[in-house]
Amino acid sequence: MLNRTVIKSFIALVVAGAFLTTSLRPAQTAAEPQEPSREGLEFFEEKIRPALADNCYGCHSEKSKKPQGGLLLDSIEAMLKGGASGQPAIVPGDPEKSLLIKAIRHTDAKLRMPMDGKLPDQALKDFEAWVKMGAPAPRVSSTVASNQPAYNFDEARKFWSFQPVRDHQPPKVKNEAWVKSPIDRFILAELEEKGLKPVVDADKRALIRRATFDLTGLPPTPEEVEEFLKDRSSNAFEKVVDRLLASQAYGEKWGRHWLDVARYADTAGDNSDYPVAAAYRYRNYVIESFNKDKPYDQFIREQIAGDIIEKPRQEKILATGYLAMSRRFGSRNKEMNLTIDDTIDNLGKTFLGLSVSCARCHDHKFDPIPQRDYYALYGVFNSVRYSFPGAEIYPHPAEMVALVGGKEAVNFYKQQKELSEIDDAVERMKTERGVAARNKKMKEAAAADAESPTAAGKEAKPSETKRNNEAAGVQETEAGREAGTENLPADYDRDLNNNRKAQASNRMPDEVEAEWTRVRARQSELHARYINAPKAYAVVEGLPANARIHRKGDPKSPGDEVPRGFLTILGAQQVPKDHRGSGREFLAGWIADAKNPLTARVMVNRIWAYHFGKGIVQTPNDFGARGQRPTHPELLDWLTLRFIEGGWSIKKMHKLMMLSRVYRLASGAAETGRLTRGATVRNAAPNSIIDVANGYLWRFNRRRLDAEEIRDSVLTLSGALDRSMGGEHPFPPEQTWRFTQHEQFFAVYDTNRRSVYVMQQRLKKHPFFEVFDGADTNAGADTRAQSVTPVQALFLMNSPFMHEQSDHFALRVGMAYDTLRDRIDYAFRLAYGRAAKVEEIREAENYLRRIRLELQASGISADQLNQKALASYLRVVMSSNEFLYVD
């Protein structure tokens, strides 16, 4: 009964959402921290431990001679114990009751830490978030926590993910008749061993809807459903899969999966969240790469080093948008260490399934990744110039890569180079103007002293001269110190260099002011002369140099130099010493090497996870010690070798997985399974008791449509979906950009194109994706959250978007058929892939009769009455579980 059951589903959705949002709130108090999650430990290692080390360990660690107040902060046990006051420093789950939070807020005059100044606002927010999530931290003693681990790499390579991929033979099973693919043997062998029996196969309507959403993110048309139902051939489903893989919609769906992992956004993520007008070119490159079935190893190489691969084409330059997509944290050349950290973090998780960035401040606590390995990679990316769309004091789109040749591109590069040089000059002269003014005042004071009677015949001592110079901000320089600055390493702090030059200057104010006027005039002239050349948000080679270890992750505390290279556990390869580039092409080759035990495994597991709802390794971004072990390790290796042998073809891997029987199982939890032709076997024990989470795949995992699929499906049903490929967003003209941290860029650009083409911001999500759990554009998303909230249900019934699309939907079905019964039936075939039942049509007629009376009483005109009533009913259709879920 559509009306009754759908309304019940709608009410249940609201109630469930209300329950979830209430039950998931953090507890008011918590005596002990929960077992730390992988994500929580990463947060601690990346955000909390470095802040504690920089600001607290000097006075509150076992290494301090006499810990102040008897408080230790270098272990979670010590924080829970507290100091001399007898109160714990933190109360997991409750920042308001945590003394540490109170101290770092500086709201109590008697309790302030650090004593020499308040922590940055972001650091304070990080501590509050950490306590709210339960204060996850390694459960070890403070002494062990503070020591850096020593690795036995021979022993570490025995861990499952670091072992070479092996070709396991598909196992023998008892029920040979059930098997359609070698994949089924691996699955069924585990089921038989565990006493589980697979459920029946999905019916053809459910199967084509499942496959169509999996590969294209769109619902099947009524015609496609009927054609599949009529096809009785043995390869009918294979023909469906081939057709879907050949569609443009395939690349849009699976490109979106990759963009999740690559944390794609159309803005930079700095405090101003500057628009990145050229980012869409990388997005479209990804979509086209999937549609072309570009070999995955080639896909890797292009994204890491496309601009320096032999004979680079425009497409390969665009591919390095993957690296350029790293989040910006400040103005150009400011906080680049954080952008590079974001690059390393994403590269490690995306391609290798390892949390490499946990080794930024110290050796990795769980995986065999020493800090030196992190800075071996850091040197590679610090030898690269990243595109910057602009920042607070740089209102031009600096250092973008031109995509066209000829005079236009030459002029563009000349302008960008001069603007970059002028920016450096402006920053240097800001300090130099102050120094020059002080110099003038010093000389005037010295002249006045010389004319005084007491100064006659008196000569300043060398020590006094030095002190006077230091007081004036003038530093002594050795001969030749300024020479060779062009050969400084790439990680040399340009701002410090500018400041040193300014401090060493002895120029007078008039001379400095004359140059200041000239430079600012030229800067304004270049800004006004805007060159609109096609650009790529990409990277180019910079000045190659090894990096130095940042002690405790602080770039202002350099340690030993580390040769550029790869992770020790994966081979410890190094960039040749005589190589004149960054070494990205070597890095790309090491990652994409078929002998690398991680890369192909990680990608195969991602493909499996998107098809089956969970990966063989259920932590797709973490194949390390804190990640989960594979449920079917032999199957993962078998698929991995098939992937490599198949030329790293992702489309072949789709087909291999989808033609298996396990993919075609029903999603229901029926306790009988059709194991042999004509025989039905009843389980001795229910599957749902033996394997409640369906870890061994005795049924298919039902899933809710993701945010893009919901939006695209609604547009499909209404007939409003624009299937053309998206281009540049309607950002304001670049020469007008004056965004700051106080006046940030925020915009929502709606379009009827597919959701993958909708503008994505880092600091503010598009409203639709905010409601329906769209990807976080600030960090690579290996999986998406699946929330059920009242807001979602209310949005589907009441939002202007849904009202507009339901009007179009009503117009579409109204123009297609004359009778109400036929219109309802057509709406069902469009939305659900099936015909409406007699009782559902009857319920719809009753509903429409009542809603017409209500609309008429509200003043709706007669000519709009039928369409508005039908639109109201169709919003119920599009709010139902049958529409929102895939079986």
Where is mean pLDDT largest: 107-111, 150-154, 376-380, 687-691? 376-380
Are 40 and 136 a contacting pair, CB within 8 Å?
yes
Closest Cα to residue 558, out of 622, 493, 630?
Answer: 493
**Whole-number pLDDT of residue 413:** 62
What integer is the mean pLDDT of 484-496? 42
**Whole-number pLDDT of residue 685:** 64
Greatest Cα-to-Cα distance within the chain, rounded to the nearest angstrom: 121
Element (H, E) at 438: helix 406-451
Q: How far apart are the first and last CA of the chain?
A: 19
State which amino acid sits at residue 103. Answer: A
pLDDT tens for 28-66 read 334 445 567 767 777 887 778 877 877 787 788 776 667
**Whole-number pLDDT of residue 406:** 56
Closest Cα to residue 415, out of 332, 523, 515?
Answer: 523
Kindly indicate the confidence band of residue 683, based on its pLDDT and cuts at 50, 70 and 90. very low
Are 554 and 54 a contacting pair, CB within 8 Å?
yes
CA distance 322 to 657: 28
State which amino acid sits at residue 125. Answer: K
Kindly indicate the confidence band of residue 480, based on its pLDDT and cuts at 50, 70 and 90. very low
Among the ranges given (92-96, 487-491, 517-521, 613-617), the one the predictor scored with the smallest mean pLDDT: 487-491
DSSP string, 643-709: HHHTTS-HHHHHHHHHTSTGGGB-SS--SEEEEETTEEEE-SS-HHHH-TT-TT-SS---EE--HHH
Among the ranges given (227-231, 243-247, 441-445, 551-555), the one the predictor scored with the smallest mean pLDDT: 441-445
The values of phi and psi at residue 201, to 5°, are -70, 150
- Work out whether the CA dihedral 303, 305, 310, 313 comes out positive or negative: positive
Select the more confidently predicted residue: 114 or 720: 720
What are the structure tokens assigned to 80, written together?
């829970």
Predicted confidence (pLDDT) at residue 724 exceeds the cutoff of 70: yes
- How many other C-beta atoms lie within 10 A of the C-beta of residue 881? 14
**Whole-number pLDDT of residue 398:** 44
pLDDT tens for 626-646 read 999 999 999 999 999 999 999
The full set of domain ranges for the chain reads: 2-16+794-886, 38-146, 267-403+540-592, 406-451+466-474+487-533
Whether pTM exceeds 0.85: no
What are the structure tokens assigned to 208, written together?
């084509």
CA distance 359 to 378: 11
What one-character DSSP code corresponds to residue 485? G
Are 187 and 639 a contacting pair, CB within 8 Å?
no
State which amino acid sits at residue 71. Answer: L
What integer is the mean pLDDT of 511-519? 79
Predicted confidence (pLDDT) at residue 761 exceeds the cutoff of 90: yes
The values of phi and psi at residue 667, to 5°, are -90, -10
What integer is the mean pLDDT of 476-503? 41
Predicted confidence (pLDDT) at residue 313 exceeds the cutoff of 70: yes
What one-character DSSP code corresponds to residue 707? H
Q: Which residues contact 624 (CB under 8 A, 6 or more apart)?
A: 161, 353, 354, 355, 366, 367
What are the structure tokens assigned to 550, written together?
């940042």
pLDDT tens for 320-377 read 999 999 998 875 556 788 999 999 999 999 999 999 999 999 899 899 999 999 999 9
**Whole-number pLDDT of residue 206:** 96
Q: Which residues of 482-513 are buried (b: 16+ CB within 10 A; e: fewer)?
A: eeeeeeebbbebbeeebbbbbbbbebebeebe
The values of phi and psi at residue 665, to 5°, are -70, 155
Q: Which residues contact 4 (CB under 8 A, 6 or more apart)?
A: 843
**Whole-number pLDDT of residue 673:** 42
pLDDT tens for 401-451 read 555 555 665 666 666 667 667 766 776 777 677 666 666 676 767 777 666
Predicted confidence (pLDDT) at residue 467 exceeds the cutoff of 60: no
**Whole-number pLDDT of residue 489:** 43
**Whole-number pLDDT of residue 686:** 84
**Whole-number pLDDT of residue 533:** 67
What one-character DSSP code corresponds to residue 756? G
Element (H, E) at 674: strand 672-676
Cis? peptide before 171, omega within 30° of 0 = no
Predicted confidence (pLDDT) at residue 1 exceeds the cutoff of 60: no
The values of phi and psi at residue 642, to 5°, are -65, -35
**Whole-number pLDDT of residue 779:** 86
What integer is the mean pLDDT of 136-140? 73
pLDDT tens for 649-681 read 999 999 999 999 999 999 986 654 433 333 344
Among the ranges given (113-122, 130-139, 339-348), the one the predictor scored with the smallest mean pLDDT: 113-122
CA distance 369 to 849: 68
CA distance 633 to 361: 33
Among the ranges given (5-19, 455-469, 750-764), the one the predictor scored with the smallest mean pLDDT: 5-19
Q: Indicate the angle between helix axes 222-230 and 204-216, nearest 10 degrees.
A: 130
What are the structure tokens assigned to 834, written together?
């099936």
Closest Cα to residue 249, out of 219, 220, 281, 217?
Answer: 217
pLDDT tens for 519-569 read 788 877 766 666 666 778 888 888 899 999 998 888 888 899 999 999 999
What integer is the mean pLDDT of 176-188? 96
What one-character DSSP code corresponds to residue 885? E
CA distance 192 to 177: 14
